[in-house]
Structures are given as C-alpha cells and as structure tokens.
Structure 1
C-alpha cells in the first residue's frame, strides 16, 4: 500500500474543480442566498427578543454560519461510490495496492478544501461584513474548535462513506442520499441547535454521532461548553469516530468479499 499516493488523490480532486468556474460561481451564490435565508428566519424567530433559551440573535447568526462551515455536501461522495459499484469501476481498486476508503477520504478532502477556500470562506466574509459575526468565545474555545472541526469532518465523511458502501447490497444510492440528509437535518444540530429542542430529545441526540458534525463544534465556538465538558464530549466523539471507522473498514472487507465472489 503506497501512502504517498493519497495526497495525489487530494491534489487531483482540488485541481479538477478549477475547470468548472461557472459551477463555482453558482455554488457560492447559492450558499450566500441560503445563508441570508437562515439569518432572516432566525431574525424573525427572535422577533425583537434579546435572549431566547440562553442564546442571543448574534449568537444564532454566528451559529448558523459556523454550522454551515462544518456541514458539507455528501452527495458527491455517496454518488462516487454508487457510480463505481454500478459501472464496475470499483474492481480497479482491487487491483491496486491502495485502500479504497482511504482513497475516498483523500479525494473528498481535496474537494472539501476547495469548497472551503473558494465558496464557503468568501460567503463567510460577506456575511461578516454585512451582518456581523461573533469571534470565538475565548482563546481556549478558539483553540479547541480546531480539533472539533477535524473531528466533525471525519465524522461526516465516515457516515457518508458507510452509506455509500451500502450500494454493494442495494445497488443504488439515491435513497441513501436522502436518508443521510434527513437524519443530519434533525440530529446534527445544523438547522436547529440542540438547546432549542425538548430536553428528552436533546438528551438522546446529544449522545449520537451526528451531533459531533455541527452542534458540538458550533457550541464550542460560542462558548456553550466549559473546558471540562469540552474535553469530555471530544473524548466521546473520538470514541464514536473510532467505532464508526472500524465498522467502515469491516464493511469494506465484506464488500470486497461480495465483489470477489460475484465476479468469480
């Protein structure tokens, strides 16, 4: 297994996006419209109130933008796996000294970096200049936010890759895209923070892996967790990630066996 090949996957993915400039402009404009729409919704929800459930309107606007920074479109990843299974291109990876999940991680990290630099960052700056965004609650929360951000990306990648690998058994990924989107819309806290949810529901969702994609990193940024809680929840999220990565590798081994048996 040649580890030096994986950075090449990331670089190739990044460079391939440069060829589609019109798509980049359209994505940035769409992201900007969606951001202003969420800001308008939360502004109307506060309706002149200064504080709601311990959060202010500036905090909610910042929360929406940080959550948007963390949550990335997983359709490309799921469709890549689905197309590889449908066309049979997945067999190529059985002939190479490469780990397929690792190559997926490298490739979509390249896509993610491109989207962050070319689409998300400009939108973030425009919203900051026109509406205003809060800085991290403290230096501690700013520093802790960085590993939470990495954990968030790896968690969402693993969840999307697991959905994609199910194409080996379902032979389609269309329903899987909507399945993951539906779960993430409710359970990740990307749209509505857990502190606005009923206590029993927030208690359940707060210990599922989806919450580490958007809610906990955004809550850290805003200072909603003290240092002890921040370290505790990071440890729980890391344990979830380790378990899901192990399951992903096991599922890939089962998919390889299924592919080998069907292909003779």
Structure 2
C-alpha cells in the first residue's frame, strides 16, 4: 500500500506540471460542451420537450457532467505502454519489483485526481451559468457518484491497457486506436445518452464496458438512478473493472513471454 500511494502521488505530480495544458483542455471541453448542449437541447425541443426521460435541464446537465468527466476518465488514445513495448523499454518495467499493470493504474488514478479540478469544474461552472444544472439536493448521490467516477477511471484504464497490449503483436496501432476512439465516442454515451439509443444498439452497448466509463457515473451523479439501482450500477462497473484487469494481467504475461528485446 505505501508503494501504491507513492505511485498515485507521482502520477498526480507528473500531471500537475502541465497546468497550462490542463486549463487549455478545460477551455476546449467547455466550447464543445456548448456545441453539444445546443444540439441535444434542440433534439429535446423537437421531440416535444422530453425524450427518454430527459427534459431540457436534465439533458443539459448530462452534457456538462460528461464534459467534466472526459478529462479525468480519459476517453482518448493512450500510447505510453505501446511505445515502451515497441522500443523495448518495457524490459525496465518487467525488472521492477512492482506489477507493471498496477503501477500504471496507480499513476493513472493520480492523473485523474489532478485533472478533476482544472478540467472538471470549469465546464460545470459555465454550464450552470449558461443552461443551468439539475443536480441532487442530498449528499448521497455525490458520494456514490465519486465512487462511480473512480471505477470509471479504472474501467477506462483497463480498456486502454488491453488496447496497448496489442503492440506485442502489431507493429502499427493506428487502426485499433481509431476503432477504439469511434467506439468510445458512441457507446460511452459521449455523443448522446445511451438511453436514446435504439433497442438493438442499447443492448450492444450494455454488453460492453463502455457505458461504465461515462453513462453510469453521470446517471448516478445526476440522480437519474438512486438507491438500489445506483448500487447495482456500481456493481456492474466493479465487475467490468475486475474482468478487464484480470484479462489485462493474463495477456500482459503472455505477451511478455514472447517479447524479444535487443541485448537479452
């Protein structure tokens, strides 16, 4: 545990060195939030004022919570591990007395902890001023939402870890990375809420870990699901996290056995 805490702290310190980049990311998230809010508000207006349980205020809240979580959860590409596998630097990680996957996970949690403030709060503040937010008045949804957000970061890491492990077998990850970015943009609920999907696409999304990255924490933080349903949502996220980390550990060991690094 002391090692784990140290690695989380180092991840926080590493990303805190890029404060300007963090605030630039917050500006970008805010601009795209304004665009997304305009689109979904128009959609709800055309639908007659409500759509799949969302009215104008709740769908705007959905957008701004999503923009606040994009940075910490990290829905984009991640190439650190793949580059280390390609260059052979992964041999250094294998020589350390710490499980590489858990070490990277700890650093990623530190990254998320830092980005929550400079990239998460500004979009929410703008959203509250421009469209207004519909948030719970009791503390429990926020406590459960915090747990859900942490699990979402872990699920995102597990997916990015598995994607990066394909570097053991592939020379070029641009194809898998592009596919991954398309899937995260759609199936996480980033483009539109998963609840707006047609039944066949909603069923497909529910069979993947992607809704656990964004849709689940937003549903809990916004109070759309409460009580037992919220706890069940956390259970789904935890199950995906455990499964992804187990698969990631197994595949990493298999890939490391076939790795050939110059010099031995």
TM-score (norm 1): 0.87
C-alpha contact 1:82 1:171 (8 A) present in aligned 2: no
Are 1:169 and 2:176 matched, yes or no?
Answer: no
Could you tell me how far apart the structure 2 residues matched to 1:105 and 1:69 are? 21
2:79 match: secondary structure: helix
* Superposition map of 1:227-242 within 5 A: 227-242=227-242
Assess, with a 3 A threshold, how the Cα gap between structure 1 residues 65 and 106 changes in structure 2: closer, same or farther: same
Q: Which one of 28, 38, 41 corresponds to residue 40 of structure 1?
A: 38
Distance 1:24 1:144 in 2: 26
Aligned residues: 261
1:218 aligns with 218
Query: How large is the RMSD of aligned CA atoms in angstroms?
Result: 2.4
In the alignment, structure 1 residue 57 sits paired with structure 2 residue 24: no
Q: How does 1:1-264 map to 2 (within 5 A)?
A: 3-47=1-45, 49-71=48-70, 72-75=73-76, 78-136=78-136, 138-259=138-259, 264=264
Q: 1:227 to 1:65 in 2, by over 3 A?
A: same
User: Structure 2 vs 1, CA of residues 157 and 230 (structure 1 numbering), >3 Å: closer, same or farther?
Assistant: same
- Uncovered stretches (5+) of structure 2, i.e. residues with no partner: none
TM-superposed deviation, 1:200: 2.8
Alpha-carbon shift at residue 24 of structure 1 (Å)? 3.0
C-alpha distance in structure 1 between counterparts of 2:3 and 2:32, whole Å: 37
- TM-score when normalising by structure 2: 0.87
Structure 1's 201 and 85: CA in aligned 2 closer, same or farther, altered over 3 A? same
Distance 1:18 1:121 in 2: 16
Once the two structures are superposed, residues 171-229 of structure 1 have per-residue CA deviations (whole angstroms, 9 ceiling, x without a partner) of 33333332221111221112211221112321332242211111122222333335333
Alignment gaps of 5+ in structure 1: none
SS of residue paired to 1:55? coil
Asked whether the 8 Å contact 1:137–1:223 carries over to 2, the reply is no
Separation in structure 1 between the aligned mates of residue 220 and residue 15 of structure 2, nearest angstrom: 32
8 Å CA contact 1:194, 1:215 repeated in 2: yes
State which drifts further: 53-62 or 117-126.
117-126
